[in-house]
Amino acid sequence: MAAQCVTKVELTVSCDNLLDKDIGSKSDPLCVLLMSSSNSQWYEAARSEKVQNCLSPKFAKKFAIDYYFEIVQKLKFGIYDIDNKTIDLSDDDFLGELECTLGQVVSSKKLTRPLVLKNKSPAGKGTITISAEEIKDNRVVNFEVQARKLDNKDLFGKSDPYLEFYKQTANSWQLAHRTEVVKNNLNPTWRPFRIPLQSLCGADMDKPIKVECYDYDNDGSHDLIGSFETTMTRLQEASHSSPAEFDCINSKKKQKKKSYKNSGVVSVKLCQVVKEYTFLDYIMGGCQINFTVAIDFTGSNGDPKSPQSLHYISPQGVNEYLSAIWSVGNVIQDYDSDKMFPAFGFGAQIPPTWQVLKGSWRPTGCVCRRSNSTVPPTSPRSSTTWPALLSKPYNRPLHHNTLFCSLSLTE
């Protein structure tokens, strides 16, 4: 069988000319990525950060998704004006959406389309741009950055500075990361942050990187304090004892003043490239996985004799808890390398310390325990089977019975 054509791609989203739904200010847009499931139902895959007071936002957060060449992967990008702290988007103003396929985005590399409303009419002059890039490198860069003597852009108080890191593309600069805002401080120290190396410079250590420093304003009219360009090669020279320092230059201010030196200095105290291991790296590296199941036999789930109860076992032997554990077991059994995972007969061996009774298995070691039960399942003399452990409340009140099962997937 041929291997699937699969790779991971990173999507960068920006918008222009969004609808303004706010009175006295501008919309606060957020982008939601929806993907179509196998049964053609849309589900939320990810969402970006909210950009305050901006009708042409550049979202710093990237969407990383698997790309399958042989599958039509439907995507929907929804833009919302966020005016509250709730996760639910139904109470937020809808600014438009774009429905497309991942293949269209990948083949275009940079796809720009008009946004439409739910009734498919144009969302004003709003457009969305999606850029795609294959992720070939899983290294990340850890940063510690501070600045000193930044220009004061505020009449009352001091500047509220933040940084933006840009990656150079074919004919433009693409936003890679935006730091938090440090309020009222001309000598800020930003919290440590990390940027994927692929997002920052395409893993090219000598590719130009642009850093811009802004004074944040609530109305969205952020003032540029200054900027500089560098490379990862230069940034990696940084250390706590010898920071890499850069003059923050404001080109307009430099043209006006002959004596102009800078608008402050940005000091990089740490720039460390590390590999970010994936879950698959751990699996393929032989990592042991500990799996624990806890089933709570509480009265809140109702009478186990009632079909409405999660503890109910139908005449066909179907139980919600049994079904859930069965489904989980079907997934994790593939990672049990020594085949000693006794998950209801899932093609795995039963450990020699376990006994079988009428086609069911039961523990004779200290793997399973039931709190406050009258039958000690850890006892070698116990005749209690695993299905009985799952289904019977025994002689104790329901709210006192809890079953624990700890299973280890070994190397």
pLDDT (tens, 9 = 90+) of the chain, 411 residues, equals 344 557 889 999 999 999 998 888 899 999 999 999 878 899 999 999 999 999 999 999 999 999 988 788 999 999 999 988 889 998 999 999 999 999 999 988 899 999 999 999 999 999 999 999 988 888 999 999 999 999 999 888 899 999 999 999 888 899 999 999 999 999 999 999 999 999 999 999 999 999 999 999 988 899 999 999 999 999 999 999 999 999 999 999 999 888 999 999 999 999 999 988 776 677 667 666 666 666 665 667 777 778 877 777 777 766 666 677 677 766 666 666 555 554 444 444 444 444 433 333 333 333 333 333 333 333 333 333 334 433 333 333 333 344 444 444 333
Whether residue 162 is found in the same domain as residue 215: yes
Whether residue 267 is found in the same domain as residue 293: no
Please state, as a whole number, how many other Cβ atoms lie within 10 Å of the Cβ of residue 323.
Answer: 10
Report if residue 1 sits inside a domain.
no
Whether residue 126 is found in the same domain as residue 148: no
Report if residue 382 sits inside a domain.
yes
What 372-375 contacts at long range (C-beta under 8 Å, 24+ apart), as own/partner pairs, is 372/396, 372/400, 372/401, 372/402, 373/401
Report if residue 282 sits inside a domain.
no
Report if residue 280 sits inside a domain.
no
Q: Which pLDDT score is estimated for 39?
A: 83
CATH code (residue 124): 2.60.40.150
Whether residue 261 is found in the same domain as residue 300: no
Whether residue 159 is found in the same domain as residue 262: yes
Tell me which of 112, 134, 156 is where a domain ends.
134
- Phi-psi category of 359—alpha, beta or left, where left has phi over 0 and alpha has psi -120 to 50? left
Q: How far apart are CA 276 and CA 270, in angstroms?
A: 17
Whether residue 96 is found in the same domain as residue 26: yes
Q: What H or E segment, with its residue span, contains residue 76?
A: strand 74-81
Q: Using alpha carbons, select from 138, 136, 199 the residue that is nearest to residue 173.
A: 199
Whether residue 170 is found in the same domain as residue 239: yes
Give the chain's domain count: 3
Q: How far apart are CA 152 and CA 226, in angstroms?
A: 12
Q: Are 325 and 292 in contact (CB under 8 A)?
A: no
Whether residue 220 is found in the same domain as residue 345: no
Whether residue 35 is found in the same domain as residue 49: yes
Alpha-carbon separation of residue 360 from 79, 181, 279, 338, 386 (angstroms): 53, 60, 33, 21, 7
pTM of the predicted model as reported, rounded to 2 decimal places:
0.65
Q: Which pLDDT score is estimated for 404?
A: 44
Host domain of residue 367: 288-409
Q: Are 141 and 195 in contact (CB under 8 A)?
A: yes
Report if residue 129 sits inside a domain.
yes
Whether residue 298 is found in the same domain as residue 355: yes
Q: Which pLDDT score is estimated for 322?
A: 67
Pairing of strands 209-215, 223-230: antiparallel
Q: Are 80 and 89 in contact (CB under 8 A)?
A: yes
Report if residue 300 sits inside a domain.
yes
Q: Which pLDDT score is estimated for 289?
A: 65
Q: Which pLDDT score is estimated for 319?
A: 67
Sign of CA dihedral 184, 185, 190, 196: positive
Whether residue 318 is found in the same domain as residue 387: yes
Whether residue 237 is found in the same domain as residue 357: no
Tell me which of 253, 275, 297 is where a domain ends.
275
Report if residue 242 sits inside a domain.
yes
Tell me which of 248, 275, 302 is where a domain ends.
275
Q: Which pLDDT score is estimated for 396?
A: 35
Report if residue 208 sits inside a domain.
yes
